Amino acid sequence: MKRRHEKLFLRVDPILCDGFGHCAELAPDIVDVDEWGYPIIKDAPLDARRDASLASANLAVRGCPRQALWIERIANTN
Ligand code: SF4
């Protein structure tokens, strides 16, 4: 039987985002901002084994005033 794995990614809805960059303050290890203040999110899976990475992502999701962030779970079988 194949073991099921999940990869977690922090995602942003660019339509909802207001570009004030609060998420980059909450999760500086995952989010940068561009020159206009819009988030640039690392396109690498969150490392669920590293509590800090997932905790930062959760902080950003909860702290986003526009509810523009979410954590996407992508299942794969390897
Ligand atoms: S906190 Fe939310 S609204 Fe603000 S820049 Fe980040 S994603 Fe956009």
Residue 1 to residue 41: CA distance in whole angstroms: 34
The neighbouring-strand residues paired with 40 are 32
CATH number of 57's domain: 3.30.70.20
* Centroid of ligand 1 to alpha carbon of 12 (angstroms): 8
Q: What is the pLDDT of residues 11-69, one digit of tens each?
A: 999 999 999 999 999 999 999 999 999 999 988 888 766 678 899 999 999 999 999 99
Tell me, using a 6 A CB cutoff, whether residue 17 lines ligand 1.
Answer: yes
Q: How many domains does the chain have?
A: 1
Q: What is the pTM for the complete model shown? A: 0.86
* Centroid of ligand 1 to alpha carbon of 76 (angstroms): 29
Residues 6 or more apart whose Cβ sits within 8 Å of residue 13: 68, 69, 70
SS3 12: strand
Instruction: Provide the residue count of the chain.
Output: 78
